[in-house]
Amino acid sequence: MIVCTAEDRPHALVGLKLLALSLERHCPGVELHAFSPLFPRAFEQWARTHRSLKLCATRAGWPSSWNTKPTILLDRLDAGFDDVVWIDADVVLTRDFRAAWGALSQDTMVVAGEPASPIGGDGSALRTEAFGFTVGRAFPVAINSAVVRITRTHQPLVAAWRELLQEPAYVLAQAQPVAQRPRHLVSDQDGLAALIGSTRFANVPVKMLQPPLDILHAAWGAYANYPLRHRLRHALTGLPPLVHALGQPKPWDPASAARLSAGLSPYCAVAAAYEEELGEPAPWLHPASAIGRASHAIALGNPALRDLPATLAVAARQWGRRQP
């Protein structure tokens, strides 16, 4: 097994460092193949001290951003690797994810699930039908492609995924603001959901990682994505193996500093364990405001609970706006 990822934004390479460090600690011997058009010299120097991190150059004409995922997955299969896992560069590990997955057959694809939509009807069938395919099976929630595991048996499916991301309707939608895109053309993961729900690929076994138990999408202010019952469970048992800094802005972006929960997210709590190995300052890993430090102290630093007051405040504010 190898893991692959990509990052073409120099300011976001700190997330890639954190993925590499956590993978190195919890999955020793597993290589991380990181793709980018050009890595800064300072990052290349840092990477030389981490043998499991392999830097790879994307080729001319390859898609950028999230649309590059199927292209890179196919490239790794063509390079001779039979078991390839894609993990987004804004994911950090808390332990060996393979143990949580259990024994997987070569036929089994792994994908992450999105949190259930509060308005409902946001599963795979909507996307399968919108792309013009016949529904062969339906997943109740949408797919999140932050984590995708494939083997050589999935090559036709991944090739079809790549083709969908090249269709004119999808390319045109990507030029629009996210809020204005059709629901089935928001990002790469919509096409993947459409395909695995279609009759053509309905026989492909799929293991869907359930949030927030198998993967935590640690979006700022998303209390509905991380309800209290799961927080209390994780406060006792620890966070799931994969913690995803979902959404924008990312914790390391300057825009995050003004938020009430800055530095409090579970992602920051896990990532802080690698601060001394980053080779660069990362003050965003810690709460900077007095309120943030107090919240951290009240929760005794527990990563599942320390941002709870901030997320509850956001949830209450959003609820208040919906009232007549």
Domain definitions of the chain by residue range: 2-209, 244-322
Residue 15 and residue 285: Cα distance in Å, rounded? 12
Q: Which of 186, 201, 171, 47 is nearest to 130 (CA)?
A: 186
Taking the complete model, does pTM exceed 0.75, yes or no? Answer: yes
* pLDDT at 38 (0 to 100): 94
The rounded mean pLDDT for the chain is: 92
The CB-side HSE value for 128 (13 A sphere, CA atoms) comes to 24
**Which three-class secondary structure state does DSSP give residue 247?**
coil
Per-residue pLDDT tens over the stretch 262-285: 899 999 999 999 999 999 999 999
User: 10 Å Cβ neighbour count for 40?
Assistant: 11
Once rounded to an integer, what is the mean pLDDT over residues 291-312?
88
Cα 85 to chain centroid, rounded: 12
Per DSSP (E only), the strands in 152-265 are 206-209, 215-217, 242-244
User: How would you write 234-272 as a 3-class SS string?
Assistant: HHHHCCCCEEECCCCCCCCCHHHHHCCCCCCCHHHHHHH
Question: Span 2-209: which CATH code?
Answer: 3.90.550.10
User: 10 Å Cβ neighbour count for 286?
Assistant: 16
* pLDDT at 52 (0 to 100): 96
pLDDT grade, residue 314 (50/70/90)?
low
Main-chain dihedrals φ then ψ at residue 252, nearest 5 degrees: -85, -10
* pLDDT at 228 (0 to 100): 85
Residue 62 and residue 60: Cα distance in Å, rounded? 6
* pLDDT at 119 (0 to 100): 46
Residue 173 and residue 219: Cα distance in Å, rounded? 24
Omega cis (within 30) before 254: no
Whether residue 77 has pLDDT greater than 90: yes
Residue 323 and residue 309: Cα distance in Å, rounded? 21
Per-residue pLDDT tens over the stretch 115-162: 876 544 589 999 999 999 999 999 999 999 999 999 999 999 999 999
Lookup: tokens for 104: 């997987």
Provide the residue type at 12 as one letter.
Answer: A
Which segment of 29-33, 169-173, 217-221 scores lowest on mean pLDDT? Answer: 217-221
Strand-pair partners of 221: none
* pLDDT at 322 (0 to 100): 63
Whether residue 234 has pLDDT greater than 60: yes
Whether residue 243 has pLDDT greater than 90: yes
Per-residue pLDDT tens over the stretch 180-232: 999 999 999 999 999 999 999 999 999 999 999 999 998 765 666 788 889 99
